[in-house]
Amino acid sequence: MGGPARLARIDRMAPKKSRELSRLRELCALELPTPLVMPTLLAELHALVPSSRNLFDWCDGEGALTRYCIEGPVDEAVARLYFDEFHNRREAEAMPSFDQALRSGAVLHSAAALDTPRFLNSSLYAEIWRPQGFRYRVELIVRSPLGQPLGSLVLYRGPGEPCFTAAEEARLLPLLPHLAKALQRDAVPRCAPAEWQPAPERAESLLLDEAGQLRHASSGARRLLMLAGPGPGPQRADATDTVLAALHVAARQGPCTRLVDSPWGRFEFRARRLDALDGAAPCWTEVQLRRFEPQALADERRLQAFELSTGQAAVARLLLQGLAQAEVAQRLAVAPSTVVDHTRKLYQRLGVRSARELADKVRR
């Protein structure tokens, strides 16, 4: 299965008013770099097609993997083994390698193709997939209008879950043109967002010993540490090690905070010294780590929870940016009376009377 013509036919066949697909399209349309949006998009994707974990790979103009975003904890040992031995090498023993999948011209690589004894008996499955709880996989290649690969969207299911059906796989295809537009916008340099909000995932904890070495971490802390640096990828550098070392020293004078911006968001490190119950024991340092996301992304996710009409949501987005109703009409290229009508219905639905009350309601 592949080719733009096939993709276009599936897109026309997709339900025009699919709420799940509409939410994903709006996320793709946000004027933000895709690494900032991708964690939310992968999470929202579960409503369109249920899965256990989702992944997105970015590739450069030559088709080489540059970075990836995956839900849940990252097993660094397994990731290192994959890039050292399997990526574009031994994985070809069991399935098309990453570069082969990109060069094939196909849009969709079905889960049924890997539901075979050959794959389940392979080293790739035993050493990489099974330790991470992966059993089934559907992969979609995102391409530019000229056919250049831009990235790879992958959904996984674990042992005991059903294989992806052809209908579920087809449900994903209409999303690809919107992802492609978002990825192509990444080529345009952008300023960092002016406002940030805590991301939906919980804060994570780390413990540094008396020498500043990381000794203990909560389940998601290693993933957040990687995202605070360049992010997970084939050649990842531990840029956050220097941040932890500086916090360990600074915390001797009292609680301290550091903010770090990366392609994946803003990260807040809060550190404090822990007193030893035994006076002779060395003191350790506790670090709380939290990711922040752009205000526009947080607004979009909260707006979607209100289940507004398309027109009401479009007006609400611009009102939240501080635009007057006349400016909203200009931006949307509609009559001012249309914006007035949408605004009236929007306010009634949410029980507010002004743009300020709207912002308070959405962001509360």
Residues in the chain: 364
Reported as a pLDDT band with limits 50, 70 and 90, residue 328 is very high
Separation of alpha carbons 102 and 88, rounded Å:
11
Percentage of the chain surpassing pLDDT 90?
72
Three-state secondary-structure class, residue 206: strand
Residue 2 pLDDT > 70: no
Q: Can you give the pLDDT at residue 174?
A: 95
Residue-averaged pLDDT of the chain = 89
Residue 165 pLDDT > 80: yes
Q: Can you give the pLDDT at residue 236?
A: 53
Q: Can you give the pLDDT at residue 14?
A: 45
Entry pTM = 0.84
Q: Can you give the pLDDT at residue 238?
A: 59
Q: Can you give the pLDDT at residue 235?
A: 57
**49 within 8 A of 172, measured Cβ to Cβ:** yes
Burial of 317 (0-12, 13-18, 19+ CB in 10 A): buried
Q: Can you give the pLDDT at residue 280?
A: 74
Percentage of the chain surpassing pLDDT 70?
93
Reported as a pLDDT band with limits 50, 70 and 90, residue 62 is confident
Query: Can you list the domains of the chain with their CATH numbers?
Result: 4-185 (3.30.450.80), 196-294 (3.30.450.20), 306-363 (1.10.10.10)
Residue 239 pLDDT > 80: no
Separation of alpha carbons 221 and 201, rounded Å:
11
Which of the pair, 237 or 95, is modelled with greater confidence? 95
Structure tokens at 314: 């479009």
